[in-house]
Amino acid sequence: METFLWVEKHRPKSINECVLPDHLKNTFKEFVEDKHIPNLILSGGPGIGKTTVAKAMLDEIGATSLVINESTINSTSSAWIHGRVSQELWIYFNL
């Protein structure tokens, strides 16, 4: 039996399910329809839906993701992550 956090189980799975101002929802829906998400910086306080929106867009277009939370790592871990990201990108673009 799989166990999930309540917030993960009930997180919106699509942009349509997200509670957003219409102009933002329409912008994010366009990205999904085009199957292209540009580089974005989603900013704001905790709990406003930055991660939810990002995950919903990625899920809808079938993309994979690598989540890095810099605030929880130290400089040694940061160097390891940089190396790992470089390796993954190299593999991805050289398939």
Percent of the chain, pLDDT > 90? Answer: 44
Q: What is the CATH number of domain 1-64?
A: 3.40.50.300
pLDDT in tens, 3-45: 678 888 889 999 999 999 999 999 999 999 999 999 888 888 8
Residue 19 backbone dihedrals phi, psi, to 5 degrees: -90, 105
For 30, the token pair is 């366009």
pLDDT in tens, 40-81: 888 888 889 998 999 999 999 999 877 666 666 666 666 777
Q: Is 42 within 8 Å of 16 (Cβ atoms)?
A: no
Domain ranges of the chain: 1-64, 66-95
For 10, the token pair is 């009930």
49's torsion region: left (phi>0), alpha (psi -120 to 50) or beta?
Answer: left
Q: What is the pLDDT of residue 57?
A: 96
End-to-end CA distance of the chain: 35
Q: What is the pLDDT of residue 34?
A: 96
